[in-house]
Amino acid sequence: MITPQRADVLSAILEERKLDALIVSTLVNIRYYTGFTGSNALLLVNAKGTRLFTDPRYSVQASQQVGDRVTIAKGKLIEAVASKVGTLKGLRIGFEDTRASYALSKALAKLGRLKGVGDAVDKPRWVKSTLEIGAIRASVALNSTAYDRAMKRFKVGMTEKDLAAEIDHQQRKLGAEGPAFATIVASGAHSALPHATPRNAPVERGGYLLIDMGASLNGYMSDMTRTVGVGPCTAEQERIYMAVLAAQQAAIDAVRPGRKASAVHGAAVRALKQFGLDKLFVHSTGHGLGLEIHEAPRLGKKDDTELEAGMAITIEPGVYEAGVGGVRIEDTVLVTEDGCEVLTTTPKGWTMVG
């Protein structure tokens, strides 16, 4: 349903930017504003209100999810939108310039003068409603249960792909739509690749086992990384793990409303510096998440977005040594009025398995 509050947000963008029409083309934004979950849609906002355009495959679904402000278009959606907007010269057409495809931008340009609205349509999604926080909480809990169940079935010698498949299987059995992103299982030296793809190779003793997994539940994402040692491990492996854990805690302690995203990253970097490991931390400390696995803000060096209560973010520093291995520890965290709440409950002390 197009909730009145969310329709108001879109009308406000229309007014502030003096637009004759605003076209929302990003599916995840269309879902947020209208509840429509189909894979082909455009949303038109103008003085008459909001109207969803989709194709005949979704006629039943669109009327259930959105109501009667729907146009089912047999041909190209943009042509159906054009017939509603008209092509009066000088119309100001707002669009998601940071998101829209070149093809769509070109088609929209025929309707009038294009005005990019930047992240104005995305921005209201950054701070989550109580309902959304509940949905993220549920997704995080499901993800942790899937991790526990998959790890119970883990045996040394199992392939990375088999463990990844077990994780995906457990997520779905618990009610997830599926993984929020391609599950990462990386062991030994392979764990030094922050975005490793699971291999057909067995997980062997003496190295790290890094698992980065998230679930999508009712459209909302969770994201967690755990790294364990596949015993026996060395004292140096444990030292690096404890350094990453200290950096993760330092970043969590830095999270509070008004704090810049970059400052949280800075806290993680400073903590790793004390262990002489900051040069091996090659990515940002975290990211927002919700309907998408990667949303604003980005907790990196360059993002000065101020955190706000209600933002859901990840905290995930890591240390990667090429040819040796990598450690990353990631939790999903909610920014609260007086700091933050770590939503992920899976234990993260140094653990050896096998």
Judged by the rule CB under 5 A, the positions of this chain that interact with Zn ion are 212, 223, 225, 314, 330
Query: Which residue lies nearer to Zn ion by CB, 223 or 295?
Result: 223
Q: How far apart are CA 352 and CA 6, in angstroms?
A: 48
What minimum distance in Å lies between the beta carbon of 45 and Zn ion?
Answer: 32
Label the pairing between strands 215-217 and 220-221: antiparallel
Query: Which residue lies nearer to Zn ion by CB, 70 or 312?
Result: 312
What minimum distance in Å lies between the beta carbon of 296 and Zn ion?
Answer: 13
Q: Side chain identity at 66, as an amino acid letter?
A: V
Query: Which residue lies nearer to Zn ion by CB, 10 or 217?
Result: 217
What minimum distance in Å lies between the beta carbon of 283 and Zn ion?
Answer: 9
Asked whether the beta carbons of 115 and 136 are under 8 A apart, the reply is no
What minimum distance in Å lies between the beta carbon of 332 and Zn ion?
Answer: 8
Place of tokens 């969310």: 6
What minimum distance in Å lies between the beta carbon of 90 and Zn ion?
Answer: 45
Query: Which residue lies nearer to Zn ion by CB, 191 or 314?
Result: 314
Query: Which residue lies nearer to Zn ion by CB, 160 or 223?
Result: 223
What minimum distance in Å lies between the beta carbon of 180 and Zn ion?
Answer: 8
How many Cα atoms sit within 13 Å of 59 on the Cβ side?
A: 6
For 322, other C-beta atoms within 10 Å of its C-beta total 10
What is the DSSP code (8-state) at residue 56?
Answer: G
Query: Which residue lies nearer to Zn ion by CB, 20 or 316?
Result: 316
What minimum distance in Å lies between the beta carbon of 7 and Zn ion?
Answer: 32
Query: Which residue lies nearer to Zn ion by CB, 30 or 272?
Result: 272
What order do you get walking across the sheet with 208-213 strand by strand?
A: 184-187, 208-213, 224-230, 352-353
- 50-59 burial: b if 16+ Cβ within 10 Å, else e: bbbbbbeebe
Asked whether the beta carbons of 114 and 105 are under 8 A apart, the reply is yes
H helix runs in 191-321, sequence order:
235-254, 261-273
Q: How far apart are CA 233 and CA 329, in angstroms?
A: 18
